[in-house]
Structure 1
């Protein structure tokens, strides 16, 4: 089973490796002490040098074949030239360990041990064989380590992408679900009174249009924010994100849709609350009111905001039928996740006196440090 990481030995590097193999082995083509003397020995040497270069070329496309050819040629050159070392065998096994997962390259490690240490063992040079063994293990370990680091970076990038997608999904849900719900309620109200009270129907349609414009404005703000993040911009041209100061406007929109909402504040200056906390608090209130408007059959709702020196708490209560608070959609789980990301808590469930209540506690000290 692979690790999902793909290492690429580009054509340019394959050419460089093949040429480098010939250049490094070129001294062996000059007059030197050969085990096999004469023309036959020179011919075999040339063939092994060329085979070694071809092995490095194949290493980028046919990993097993390239590795085997380089290691076999390196062993042959050590047999012909007692003074030659297995330097290129180290390069080959290191590259192979980088190109493929570790479990696939263990045979290459074993073959490299034979190719590097075998000729020295055959001559009884045990110290040299021990050095070559250490070199092979070190080369293979280095290649495997570089691959592991690359695989870890790839996994981190993929995780970041998944987290960003989840964030975008939450934001889109928060941006659109509230306003679209208001539009649906207003459109239904207009349809109910269209024949008997055209004036009320027109008013409902105007509110539907206003809600649609607000949805488009929030969606444009959201898309500008996403593009600014992608481009590394600070988003100076994007409209400010909603915060605690916008709760009254949100309550007015929900009230106009048919669910009267009152807002009570027991806070100090909301400017002192970090923007991330303000945005999360606003989205939690927005989602709770949207749920009450769509699902609870509530006749009224109340929002309570408290700001202290170390936390912000928000409570949204309605007199509807509510539910258990253990929903599996984006709503309540999304609110809990928002609170948890800030180190806070969220409770959603039936209120003691009836109806449904959402209560969140969001710490502010960490963001101010």
Structure 2
């Protein structure tokens, strides 16, 4: 508990200093400059109201940089312009103060880091001229200081200018990553919608067939009933009519979901009974596949049977197209409560991303979700790629 608390405190402190560290440094620099000004003991040091003016002035020069986020050009420019102006009031006010030196160097760096080239160039002129004015107004300056000091702060400007290019590259990379992430999310949503529509079209025939059988059986029972059973005949007629209405609505909904150019599927939908044929087709492409069935196979609900087939079909397709596998294994496990499906391969690469296509893992995930099952997909312990899916049978399949 003590270790966790310590790590949490360190993380909070790191976050605080990363966000407000520079502001804290500016405040310290302002305090140092104010104290240095107040404790001046040179022969020409000010006293009385003038001393308080200079103390407040040097503090304001440093604290102006706190507004750099809101006015990125004005804040550092005012710092240098104010320093140059105050040097005319007192030539010793700006020089020989560590806090003002830090503020001046920080302002030079910020001006060099500006995004607009025009502002950055104007900032360089302000830095060089401001430094030259401050040194010129210093009564104790040496002739070499007029060159050395502006060059020193000019180097600070160059550092900021170099960091600007690096910052722009980082922000451009972040923008590309954000845009790519948005595109992946949008593509994933489209893929999910398309796959759901595909599943709905496939399951339509399954449900429609069941409802049709119910309607026919109800109609047959109604016609065999005696004419005297008026109430029962009317009830069955209502049931039959409701079934026919449901079939019509299902067809209307399916037509709305079908894209232009989609053709009606006239062939019967496959199931696990067609698994041998699927494996033979994959073997014919050159990929050896080993099929293993555990448990006693039994008839599954048509919708679940179709989805189980599609899951295995997609798993083998991934192994064939994307994983560069030399062999694959398919395992189907029947039990009283669930159906387990697994596709393994020994390829170095996994399936393609879901965002780029409308099927793949997106389709498998949606099919598993419809039946309330679980799915895992990823690298296997011994290498290759492993896809597993568990589909519950609700205890009433057999």
Structure-1-length-normalised TM-score:
0.46
Structure (1 or 2) with the larger CA radius of gyration:
2
TM-score scaled by length of structure 2: 0.43
